[in-house]
Every structure is written in C-alpha cells, then in structure tokens.
Amino acid sequence: MPYKEKEITKLYYSIGEVARMFQVSTSLIRFWESEFDILKPKKNKKGDRFFTQKDVDNLHLIFHLVKERGFTLKGAKLKLKENKEETVVNFEVVQQLKKIREFLVEIKQGL
C-alpha cells in the first residue's frame, strides 16, 4: 500500500489568508464581521483576528448569499436568522453541482 500524506488543515487563518480565499479586501471581511453575529474570530492582545474553519464556512455562506446570489446585507442576515439550516443545505447542493459541472466540462474537453 503506497504512503499517503495526510492533508494538513490549519486551526486558524489570518484575515489576509481569508481575504485571499474569497478574493476580497480585508476591510470587507472586517465589515462582515461587524454586521454578521455568526462570525466570531479569535483576537489576540494586539487585535489580530484568527478565523477558525467554522468562521471560514460561515464566510462562505455570507459570500454566497451576498456576492453570488445578490442578497442585500439585511436580506442575508434575515435569511441566516430565519432558516440557517436550509441555507446551509442549499449552499452545499450548489457547491456539489459546481463540482459536477467542472468534472463534466473536463470530460467534454477530453473527448
């Protein structure tokens, strides 16, 4: 059986790393943190923010609602407050469909 390296996952991400993940500015991440109470990054004494994987997942949801689906901030807050579970399920379905589409496009290009 060949050796398989474990995928390394970080416990905390800096605000710069998170901003690069979403290709947005750090000020937008800080703004969303102040607007959405589901974002609770850890802060050190200096005030640097450290985001957990849960925070990153919540940012994915916010990004999806605001940037991809075109919700206003007020609408996104309301959607997350009313039925977060349904929003999470819908988001996961959309992500899976995107992966399937990419796979099918690769197959098409290989023909």
CA dihedral sign, ordered 52, 50, 18, 106: negative
Domains in the chain with CATH codes? 13-82 (1.10.1660.10)
Nearest to 91 by CA among 63, 71, 111, 72: 63
pLDDT digits (tens, 9 = 90+) for 55-64: 998 998 899 8
Cα(31)–Cα(105) distance, rounded to whole angstroms?
36
pLDDT digits (tens, 9 = 90+) for 22-59: 899 999 999 999 999 888 899 889 989 999 989 998 99
- Distance of alpha carbon 53 from the chain centroid: 9
Question: DSSP state, 40?
Answer: -
Q: Which amino acid is present at 3?
A: Y
